[in-house]
Amino acid sequence: MTLALLLLSAVAVHPRGWADAREPFHVVGNVYSVGSAEVTSFLIATPKGHVLIDGGFPESGPQIARNIDKLGFKLEDVKVLLVSHAHIDHAGGLAELKRRTGAQVVASRADAEAMARGGKGDPQFGDSIPFAPVYADRIVQDGGVVRVGPTELVAHVTPGHTQGCTTWTTVQREDEQPLHVVFNCSMSVPEDYRLLGNPRYPRAVDDYERSFRTLRALPCDVLLGPHASFFQQDERRARMRDGAPNPFVDPAACGAYLDRSEQAFRAHLERERAAPPPPPEPAAPTAGMPPPPPAVSASRLR
């Protein structure tokens, strides 16, 4: 795919305001927010190099680099690039970030395969939201550990939103207290997802169900995720004050998020069951220049 088409893809799928600039800030322990208004990226800084979770949209790299620089760190010191899931708003910028940093890309097998295809062949979106392919240097299994310096991150494969959706957990310390930080992948069900009778993802419902059980079993003191609205990032940041309790430390937020997400998941299933059967799968496109991707609403990606 040409650079022009990649940029066109990025513009077409930008829900309003998602990629707006935001100032970086310290979240908890050695975790920093370096992403945009709605699409998050997190830097986990260590003396031996840094970890970056999610690369945003295809053009998000310069903004992430500026935010890292504002915090006094260097993009070149990022050693590992992790991804929550293989959609354009989180994996779209990884190819450029990998080129600039030389960092190792680590992903689950299913999402590594999706990223190598540049998002094409998605079980929900098909080929409609492509991004620059990026190749994983390491495939992580469920329960696999990524270590950089003194920091360990554990992979929990929580499929549903994508087939390789990966939740990352780590233990951070604040005021000498250990805190379980959960970087939730995503448990949302965009409005045009097809969960029932989807030949490209026949186990979608079972995967969502299993992932809810997995996430509810995780110890969680701090909930973070790929979208700022999932954990009320702006509202919590506005409450941060020197000497006051950290508003991101909120164990109740973890269960509340899962309750909201599971309620929405079950409502989506009921709507699908009540709807007429979906039309047959569209025929494969003919060879030649692909059409520009359609505009995508916020509810379609989130």
The verdict on whether 193 is a catalytic residue reads: yes
Residues with Cβ < 8 Å from 269, sequence gap 6 or more?
195, 196, 205
CA–CA distance, 123 with 6 (Å, rounded to integer)? 20
How do beta strands 104-107 and 138-139 pair?
parallel
Q: What is the helix (H) or strand (E) element at residue 44, kind and residue range?
A: strand 42-44
The verdict on whether 90 is a catalytic residue reads: yes
State which amino acid sits at residue 14: H
How many C-beta atoms surround the C-beta of residue 73 within 10 A?
17
Catalytic annotation, pick one of 14, 227, 257, 268: 227
- Hey, what are 85's tokens? 């899931």
First-to-last alpha carbon distance for the chain, in angstroms, is 25
Instruction: Using the CB atoms, write b or e for 212-244: b if 16+ within 10 Å.
Output: beebeebebbbbbbbbbbbbbbeebbeeeeeee
CA–CA distance, 64 with 277 (Å, rounded to integer)? 43
The verdict on whether 259 is a catalytic residue reads: no
Helices (H) and strands (E) in the chain, counts: 9, 12
Catalytic annotation, pick one of 87, 156, 207, 221: 87
Catalytic annotation, pick one of 14, 32, 50, 85: 85
The verdict on whether 268 is a catalytic residue reads: no
Q: At what angle do helices 251-274 and 204-217 cross, to 10 degrees?
A: 160
The verdict on whether 227 is a catalytic residue reads: yes
Catalytic annotation, pick one of 90, 208, 221, 257: 90
- Hey, what are 288's tokens? 């030649």
**Order of all β-strands in the sheet with 50-53:** 25-28, 31-33, 42-44, 50-53, 78-82, 104-107, 138-139
Catalytic annotation, pick one of 161, 207, 257, 268: 161
Catalytic annotation, pick one of 193, 201, 208, 257: 193
Catalytic annotation, pick one of 14, 32, 54, 89: 89
- Catalytic residue positions, numbered: 85, 87, 89-90, 161, 193, 227
